[in-house]
Each structure stands twice: as C-alpha cells, then as structure tokens.
C-alpha cells in the first residue's frame, strides 16, 4: 500500500509557530512517528510539504500514478483553494483531511473547508496525534475497500 502525506503552507514552521494553537512538535517529529507507524502497518510513505499552491496541485496530480491513499493537511489552502479541490476531484484518490487544531472551533473563515466533502473523513483538534489517527483510519478504509 502506497500512501502520500501532503502538508501545506507554514507547516514547516511547526514547533515555533503559534505553539499554543499547534503544539511544540516539529513537522519532522510528526513525520518520524507517522513513518514508524506506516512501517508497522506495511505501508510505503511519501511525505511532502510545500508553501506553494501550484506545487501542492502538482503533488496532488502526481498521486494518480503513485498513491493508493493520502493524508492531507492543506493548511490555509483548506479554506480557499478551488485549484486543490479540482486536483483532488481529478485524481479521485481516497484521502483523510487532517488538521492539528480544531478548525471548527476557530475563526469563522477557518470553519469551512473546500476539500472536506471529498474526503473519506476529517481528523481535527488532536495535534500531531491526528496524523496517526488519520493513518490508522485510512489504512483500515483501504483494506476494507480491497475486501
């Protein structure tokens, strides 16, 4: 099973960025834990982060040839990017939307995701642990689908 994890803008600053909202773990810390768990689950993992919307679209498009499923934290693009939505519609790969913070308990402009209705599910509010929960859920979903 090949999985891709896509991280959007400013997530490279985790650890120093608004720790009261996003916690003190760095993106590298989270990547390490997710890679370890993916290995235990027998999944191959491609981990990406970009601050660029066009690059994010290209990474989504590239999943068509490379991934059976994805974890996606599009960060601020979650709330605005029809380009990323269109790319996800085009590749049609099962994904779980992940957010460190509970976006539904934040400012009104963050309570809406333009991607969530395309997702298998959404995990939000559990910090870095959310990536692990989303990984477990995605692997179960893909296995159940495979029968």
Name the 3-class secondary structure at 92: coil
Annotated catalytic residue 99: yes
Annotated catalytic residue 131: no
**Binding to ligand DQA by residue 122, rule CB under 6 A?**
no
Residue of the chain from 2, 37, 66, 110 that contacts ligand DQA (CB under 6 A): 110
**Closest separation in Å from C-beta 65 to ligand DQA:** 26
Residue 47 pairs in a beta bridge with: 5
**Binding to ligand DQA by residue 73, rule CB under 6 A?**
yes
- Counts for the chain of helices (H) and strands (E), in that order: 5, 5
Which residues form the catalytic set?
Answer: 22, 99
Task: By CB under 6 A, name the binding residues for ligand DQA.
Answer: 10, 73, 75-76, 78, 99-101, 103, 110
């Amino acid at each position: 099973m090949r999985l891709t994890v896509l991280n959007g803008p400013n997530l490279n600053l985790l650890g120093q960025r608004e720790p009261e909202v996003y916690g003190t773990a760095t993106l590298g810390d989270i990547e390490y834990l997710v890679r370890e768990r993916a290995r235990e689950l027998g999944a191959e993992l491609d981990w990406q982060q970009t601050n660029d919307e066009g690059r994010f679209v290209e990474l989504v498009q590239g999943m068509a040839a490379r991934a059976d499923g994805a974890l996606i934290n599009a960060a601020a693009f979650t709330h605005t990017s029809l380009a990323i939505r269109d790319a996800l519609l085009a590749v049609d790969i099962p994904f779980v939307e992940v957010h460190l913070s509970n976006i539904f308990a934040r400012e009104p402009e963050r309570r809406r995701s333009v991607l969530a209705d395309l997702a298998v599910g959404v995990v939000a509010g559990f910090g870095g642990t959310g990536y692990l929960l989303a990984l477990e859920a995605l692997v179960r979903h893909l296995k159940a689908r495979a029968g």
